[in-house]
Structure 1
Amino acid sequence: MASDSDLKYMSGFGNEFASEDSRCPGALPEGQNNPQKCAYGLYAEQLSGTAFTAPREENQRSWLYRIRPSVLHEPFVKTERGNLTHDWDSVEPNPNQLRWHPFDIPQEKTDFVQGLSTVCGAGDPKCRSGVAVYIYVCNTSMGDKCFYSSDGDFLIVPQLGGLSITTEFGRMKVDPNEICVIQRGMRFNVAVTGDTRGYMLEVFNDHFVLPNLGPIGANGLANPRDFLTPTAWYEDRDVEQYTVISKYHGHLFSAKQKHSPFDVVAWHGNYAPYKYDLSKFMVINAVAYDHADPSIFTVLTCPSLKPGTAVADFVIFPPRWSVQEHTFRPPYYHRNCMSEFMGLIYGAYEAKEEGFRPGGASLHSLMTPHGPDAECFEKASSAELKAEKIATGTMAFMFESSYSMAVTEWGNQNKVDPNYSHCWQTLQKHFNSSWKPNGDGKQQKTFTF
């Protein structure tokens, strides 16, 4: 099982890293050129995350020094993909607000890949454009199997139970309230110790980066030094049959080989998996008036070609102080040019304390109105405006995308809350045409709750 000793600080996106298993000192070549023969009889293999000719500041690749090259496997054959799909057109569009109750853990033995179900998404991985949102539920380790995506980068958000993830770069233990990113082409295995559930976002276009801070300045939000990437760890293990599962064009393919794929003794580069502890997020919030836009809570973003518009943002709503004056503090009512998929890791989300539960989800599609429920609105409109700690013991998050996401057949048939819209139906009309401002220009209260 991986521990923090198996990880090292990234100390900044885009930086070069070098790591070798302590059992094989000198496995990393010295100098700029590789020798004719690698140390310890290893093979050199490059994993490229960007085009060779991408600008230097955007170029991502790593060199892996491994016992056997990854090409050593039998041909891929198509395999059962279960509830995993990128068919966005088989179900009629639905612009309504959607909410899902917590997704069930299967009774039968189910590993991470078998427990993947596509909830919604848009685009086409063949064109390297789009996103997909998944729920994973599992109770069994993958054993002698590994998984990778040729389609995009995975952002994994555990909600129930931790994941012990072995990658070609090393090992990571990812618990609830942590996230990890495993990028395109990286092979990984997931081990669990019991019932496990969580959320996963895949982006087809590009990679996640830290958002620009703009007027915030040099500090705040997610700090680069808090991201961890694995240290090299290898196993030299021959097996009767090891299965490599590839996600390609939204389908699954499997290939057999007779050795563990996690035989990388050393690696260097800037293309590697990483994890982040959400409790380390530095919240920036308003201290005078008006509710800040949720973009102020962005942890990671995958930018589109249009400046300021994301393929996908990963946004969190952590515990924080609410201290604004003369304003409505909960999230405002909203119609948006983005799709908003929300999940709850633990606790009670302040704008939906009833019905939105850990392990469940909601989707507010492009231009579909949403906002706090009636109970939240009435309570907040009458509350004393004093400094208040909110979201204590809570961690909600949002996958926000500029794509108009469609819900899959599985998403429409599993754990959908048919009564979600009821939470707004008791909102009252408070309009008073005879309202007059007070002498000081402030609003005169003419109604109570």
Structure 2
Amino acid sequence: MTDRLEYQRGFGNEHHSEAIAGALPWGQNSPQRAPYGLYAEQLSGTAFTEPREINRRSWTYRINPSARHPRFERVDNRYFRSAPLVDGILDVNRLRWNPFDTPWPEADFIDSMYTVAANGNVLERNGIAVHMYHATTSMTERYFADLDGELLVVPQTGGIRLHTEFGLLDVVPGEIAVIGRGVKFRVSLHGESAGGYVCENYGAYFALPELGPIGSNGLAHARDFSYPVAAYEDRSDTVQVIQKFGGQLWAAEYGHSPLDVVAWHGTHSAYKYDTGRFNTMGTVGWDHPDPSIFTVLTSPSERPGQANVDFAIFPPRWNVAEHTFRPPHFHRNIMTEFMGLVRGQHDSKAEGFVPGGASLHNMWGAHGPDFETFTTASNAELAPQKFDGSLAFMFETRLPLVTTDFAHSAQHRQPDYDSSWSGLQRQFDPRTPEGTGDPR
């Protein structure tokens, strides 16, 4: 992709855009006749009467009304699954996967998607699903809309262009994109292939976390989120539109592109964010901070403090804590952690956790640094250190994640993940406050 896209800035703002001057009505959402013979149509991402601060809706002015389509018929889900996973596996053990080599040649974004795990219930708008994709072809005559949840896309290899109802988004590794529930789109590739991670959020929409004692600055700034400008498709050939509804895929053939929005305004759309703009917070005294300090977006639940899912990143940053074990410490959580790695190395794992791989530590699962990391960090000289060249992330969710049989039995799942901690032997010595100093 050589053309440089323009964007609108600001998270959750009332955005507006028109591809043709005068196509966007002002002062009235649905005039008797919309400009240029367009159809006025509202897309409501929330109930009409939800509070203003969380209400999501957009008005679109399009060539064809969305209602103009034939009957949808069920199509094969392949490995794209939803919660509850009735045939899934709830495993108390810690799980880790190597990168998945291209599983299906000539597969686009949707066909290459496979589900790793899920929780909650898609019909109750509660929980999440974690998927991975490895596309080798662009979607040129196929379109998709997820009616079950919004999609948070984390590219790991290869850039993609999201052609959405509201315009275009170019997203490359190091950036993330969120596609609103029910928004139609297609995905084209910048190169020969593209792979990464997807969090399908059934629950409350992702929002910026409250900053609390941090104050008004820090973490992700609203102004650094980018929204598309109107860029419509006007085509009259036959295309396939796939919708995910109730965990199943449904398809219909249209005689026009569903991305025919000439103008729009509102708050329900798609957006992207460059993680390089994240203003990392950390300790300047002692102790390792909780990972919540790295939250980019959160989907809250009805229980304060226990998110349906948090999206946290671990970008390049300075470690300056004194008298402190600096990597993530040994811990057990009520929350479930799914981790992925875009590039570099995670600071609690010396080997085995590689870019394109993943790990799952279900709630209460004991985990922490492996033997090599613990040994190095316990004896390191605590000078200021820049942890650079890495980008790990975490989907942290309040419910246990049930893995699909496909992911649990996959050849790229590491059967010996527990061995990461097998070298950590007793070093307790009641005669010496410092212990033996040797973890072997």
Alignment TM class, shorter chain as reference: over 0.9
SS in 2 for 1:310: coil
CA distance in 2, matches of 1:351, 1:168: 41
- Number of the residue aligned with 2:405: 409
1:119 to 113, 116, 120: 116
- Number of the residue aligned with 2:92: 95
CA distance in 1, matches of 2:259, 2:169: 13
CA distance in 2, matches of 1:448, 1:419: 24
Answer whether contact 1:2 1:172 (CA < 8 A) is retained.
no
Give the superposition deviation at 1:31.
Answer: 1.3
1:132 to 106, 129, 133: 129
- Number of the residue aligned with 1:233: 231
Answer whether contact 1:106 1:138 (CA < 8 A) is retained.
no
Matched, 1:46 2:36: no
Pick which of 81-90 and 154-163 moved more.
Answer: 81-90
CA distance in 1, matches of 2:94, 2:249: 31
Give the superposition deviation at 1:203.
Answer: 1.1
- Number of the residue aligned with 2:216: 218
Q: How many residues align?
A: 436
Work out the percentage of aligned pairs sharing the same amino acid. Answer: 48
CA distance in 1, matches of 2:38, 2:69: 17
Give the superposition deviation at 1:428.
Answer: 2.0
- Number of the residue aligned with 1:197: 195
- Number of the residue aligned with 1:440: none
Matched, 1:332 2:329: yes
1:31 to 19, 27, 30: 27
- Number of the residue aligned with 1:250: 247
CA distance in 1, matches of 2:18, 2:314: 37
- Unaligned 5+ runs, structure 2: none
TM-score by length of 2: 0.97
- Number of the residue aligned with 1:78: 74
CA distance in 2, matches of 1:92, 1:224: 38
- Number of the residue aligned with 1:280: 277
- Unaligned 5+ runs, structure 1: 437-443
Matched, 1:433 2:430: yes
Query: Alpha-carbon deviations, 1:63-103, whole Å to 9, x = none?
Result: 00000011111100000110011252314421101000001
Give the superposition deviation at 1:34.
Answer: 3.3
Amino acid of the residue matched to residue 295 of structure 2? T
- Number of the residue aligned with 1:294: 291
1:19 to 11, 17, 20: 17
Answer whether contact 1:152 1:206 (CA < 8 A) is retained.
no
- Number of the residue aligned with 1:68: 64
CA distance in 2, matches of 1:101, 1:445: 36
Could you say if the C-alpha distance between residues 269 and 91 of structure 1 is closer, same or farther in structure 2, counting changes exceeding 3 Å? Answer: closer
SS in 1 for 2:406: helix
CA distance in 1, matches of 2:150, 2:23: 28
Query: Alpha-carbon deviations, 1:105-126, whole Å to 9, x = none?
Result: 1352100100010100111111
CA distance in 2, matches of 1:425, 1:448: 14
Answer whether contact 1:105 1:196 (CA < 8 A) is retained.
no
Amino acid of the residue matched to residue 218 of structure 2? G
Could you say if the C-alpha distance between residues 301 and 145 of structure 1 is closer, same or farther in structure 2, counting changes exceeding 3 Å? Answer: same
2:390 to 391, 394, 397: 394
Query: Alpha-carbon deviations, 1:242-282, whole Å to 9, x = none?
Result: 11100011110001110111110000011110000011100
SS in 2 for 1:422: helix
CA distance in 1, matches of 2:212, 2:52: 23
Give the superposition deviation at 1:445.
Answer: 6.3
